[in-house]
Chains A and B, each alone.
Chain A
Amino acid sequence: MAALTTKNIGGFLARQGIIVAFVLFMIGFALANDRFITMDNIFGVIRSSAILGVMALGVTFVVIGGNLDLSVGSMMSFSTIVVLDLHDKLGPALGIPAMYGMTLALGAFIGFLVGYLKLNSLIVTLGMLSAIHGLTLTYSGGKNMDIADKEGTWFGIFGQGSILGVPVPILIFALLAVVLSMVLAKTPFGRKVYAVGGNGMAATFSGVPRARVVFMTYLISAFCVATAGLIQASRSLGSQNTVGQGMELEVLAAVILGGASLLGGSGTVFKTVIGVLILGFIQNGLLLVGLEFYVQYVVTWVIIILAVWLDIAAKRGRLLSPIA
């Protein structure tokens, strides 16, 4: 009986550990700093999480489909630099769709390699992380990109504007989250993403075109990255070449924290949004209690490794197991 109880507690922690840890963190932060639970702070956290969040929505599709996307950080740099450059060359009305086109082309290329050629997504997107970074530097000649006439453009609306008091980045994040949530949960395509990620072989044996589904997940990811780049560029109207660098890991962290399995086949858009918020609040909380911002790198990764362990433990039904 005692053994059974221990096992149950282990099982509960394995399933709900992230929520438990999050609640403990929140309580700790709230006690340590009374500014933590204020409307201003909460709104601020959501707004600063929006760019990360938009990217995480796309990566959710890729991960549920059983693959990884580590290229989103440098792809976001690419989108940001390109749209700023084209803003002055073509004007925003043409520059924005052109930037979307170029970013989607990158996503299509990755989707082709991983979906149709069946190359390992870790290797492909790790390679693309570096390749796209090089592409961005080549494009910009290594210089920062700035919009010449910052006063006379409407381009700032995506990053700085607000509608009915709600910042536009939050609106975009919310709108995309709702639409993509419907796509994933309600459409035949969404169902196929789960099937391909859950058991690609069985999906193939059921007539699901696996390669095309994987391809589409990377297109969706690229679309989200382009949108994130748009918000980023619009917010500062100028950017360095490295603006998105390292974000691929934070994005992946948010997706995993939300509970999407790295093995594919499980997760939801809603859970990813929760993951994004957890990450945002924890990082914000660490700053508010007075820790230097670089501490968050350590804490974030401790949490993520914990999350991955608990994910696998939940599958095994126990915290430790002699076999994988």
Chain B
Amino acid sequence: MTDEKPALRLENIVKTFPGVRALDDVSFAVMPGEVHALMGENGAGKSTLMKVLGGILQPNEGRIFIEEESTIMTTPLDAKAKGVVFIHQELSLADELSVAENIFLGELPRKSFGRVDWGKLYEQTDAILKTLNVGFNARTRVGDLSIANQQMVEIARALTVDPRAVIFDEPTASLTDAEKVVLFDVIADLKSRGVGIVYISHRMEEIFKITDRISVLRDGQYRGTLETAKTDEDEVTQLMIGRSLDLSRNEEHREHGEVALEVRGLSCGDLYRDVSFKVHRGEVVGFYGLVGAGRTEIAETIFGLRDPSEGQILLDGQELRIHSPVDAIRHGISLVPEDRKGQGLVLGMNCRDNMTLPQVDDLTAGPFVSDGAEIAIFDQYRDKLDIRTPGWRQTVGNLSGGNQQKIVIGKWLSMHPNVLIVDEPTRGIDVGSKSEIHNLIRDLAGQGYAVIVISSEMPEVLHVSDRIVAMYHGRIMREFSAEEVTEDSLIQAISGIESEKVA
């Protein structure tokens, strides 16, 4: 391999966003005919790196080489023209068009007067499809294909340009086992043609099955490359998780109070099944699992945004009937949602109005909202949560992510809830504010709140939780106490490894 030129190479890439160093001096190379895994936790910088490679973001520093020629990717189309192609997690196909039209979208073969040369289009498409060995043809409507076959269309699209490097982003996220086999065959075929392949996935099993080398990112930094054949899951996990200074394991032992929230046999269609758990007062229960494991959907059900198909939700032993957030809030159940800007805040409103929104009906003097009562609440929770803002008139959209999150938390705390559910408490928040939010969550439990924390970041779950519920594919796999949990067992539980042993 030493005398070969890398298909794609990154050198000292730095990308910063206000307050965050998303990529910090990352270097990385893929050889032709190599399958190279890129791993890292959510937020480690993988997607930023991909955006830099795809021409969606421009790096602040560093260089990109294709076959050792320095290049700049200006747009996604430019990247494709230079032979770097993406197979995205979320497919970007036009359902109503045929396979052939999708594959050659924007570059359909033409006859005179700009008419489409359909004969040539179908001929070229079928030639590509033949190499992929798929069971559909150029005229099939894309909307009629399975997700797996749609992915094949994306791959076929990549093959129209004779790619140097193909980047797969979580390609197996929605595939069945049989479909995965087909995908892996195609990847093997690309590999034999000398294409360099970057393979992004969380799934260890696949990584060890099909990749040659594994590179790991953590906190925006490159942490090393391992030969797949010479390493094991433990070593990779170590490299991925590491230990950042402020994230030690939760080792407090506290007495918890009575059971506040209990969920019994809760199911919601295909989203999750037969979920049961309890949360005590003064306790933080962490829900850990991969994206799509059903954690957010459970929270949304408890908060009245979804109706369960089966099961019960009890508060202090009393069964609740919750059909809307209004019901949930009346019972003192509150949710800090995962999408802060989309669900948590009205960005164009000021800080105070956002914070008091759920209880504005109660803060009145006569028919009007009482300015004084609102400002009193805002001031109290600004001080309590250390929210840094010039004043309550400040538009929420202008605050930093950490301060925005504190506004959402303050919104619920000021109503003295029975149960506080926090979904992805530190997503998109810089490291310093992260630990503030973590301490805040620990403090709240200390004050007797029953808290549920949903997180996709293992260090976060380990740091804040008294108990950890591990989920996989809509089911609770295991519950761990903070003392007994190990990283390995947690990773296994959320990857469904135990379920396979049982089955």
Contacts and interface: CB of A to CB of B under 8 A. Distances in A.
B367 A201 contact: no
B347 A198 contact: yes
Interface stretch (B190-198, B267-275, B357-365): B357-365
Nearest to B336: A205
B369 A265 contact: no
Contacts of B328: 207
A186 B348 CA distance: 18
B337 interface: yes
A188 B349 CA distance: 14
B499 interface: no
B344 A187 contact: no
A308 B369 CA distance: 32
A206 interface: yes
Interface residues of A, number: 21
B345 interface: yes
B352 to A, nearest CB: 11
Contacts of A199: 342, 345-348
A44 interface: no
Contact of B325 (A188, A192, A198, A207): A207
B348 A206 contact: no
B337 A191 contact: no
Given A199-B345, A201-B343, A207-B358, A191 B369 contact: yes
Contacts of A182: 368
B481 to A, nearest CB: 31
A191 B348 contact: no
Interface string B325-352: 1101100000101000011111111000
Contacts of A266: 348
A191 B335 contact: no
Nearest to A200: B346
Contacts, number: 71
Contact of B342 (A191, A192, A202, A206): A202
B367 A206 contact: no
Nearest to B415: A207
A187 B411 CA distance: 19
A195 interface: yes
A206 B411 contact: yes
B283 interface: no
A209 interface: yes
B369 A188 contact: yes
Contact of B358 (A194, A198, A206, A265): A206
A187 B357 contact: no
A195 B348 CA distance: 9
Interface of A is mostly: helix
B346 A195 contact: yes
Contact of A191 (B325, B345, B360, B367): B360
B467 to A, nearest CB: 26
B346 A191 contact: no
B24 interface: no
B353 interface: yes
A98 interface: no
A188 B373 CA distance: 13
Range of interface residues on chain B? 20 to 34
A246 B290 CA distance: 55
A45 interface: no
Contacts of A188: 360-361, 363-364, 369
B326 A207 contact: yes
A205 B303 CA distance: 9
A203 interface: yes
A207 B353 CA distance: 14
A196 to B, nearest CB: 9
B343 A191 contact: no
Nearest to A196: B346
B377 to A, nearest CB: 14
Instruction: From A187, A206, A207, name the one whose CB has the most chain B CB atoms within 10 angstroms.
Output: A206
Nearest to B344: A202
A204 interface: yes
A188 B358 CA distance: 10
A174 interface: no
B368 A191 contact: no
A194 B349 contact: yes
Given A188-B364, A195-B349, A209-B326, A203 B369 contact: no
Contacts of B360: 188, 191-192
B353 A191 contact: yes
A208 interface: yes
Given A195-B357, A203-B357, A207-B329, A186 B369 contact: yes
Nearest to A182: B368
Contacts of B358: 206-208
A203 B346 contact: yes
Nearest to B365: A186
Contacts of B324: 207, 209
Given A186-B368, A188-B360, A265-B346, 19 more contacts: A186-B367, A187-B367, A191-B360, A192-B357, A192-B360, A194-B346, A195-B349, A198-B346, A198-B349, A202-B344, A202-B345, A205-B325, A205-B337, A206-B357, A206-B411, A207-B325, A207-B326, A265-B348, A265-B349
30 contacts: A182-B368, A186-B367, A188-B361, A188-B363, A188-B364, A191-B357, A192-B357, A194-B346, A194-B349, A194-B353, A195-B357, A198-B347, A198-B348, A198-B349, A199-B342, A199-B346, A201-B342, A202-B345, A202-B346, A203-B357, A204-B305, A204-B325, A205-B337, A206-B358, A206-B411, A207-B324, A207-B326, A207-B358, A209-B326, A265-B346
Interface of B: 303, 305, 324-326, 328-329, 335, 337, 342-349, 353, 357-358, 360-361, 363-364, 367-369, 411
Nearest first, the 3 A-B pairs at minimum CB distance are A198-B346, A186-B368, A207-B329
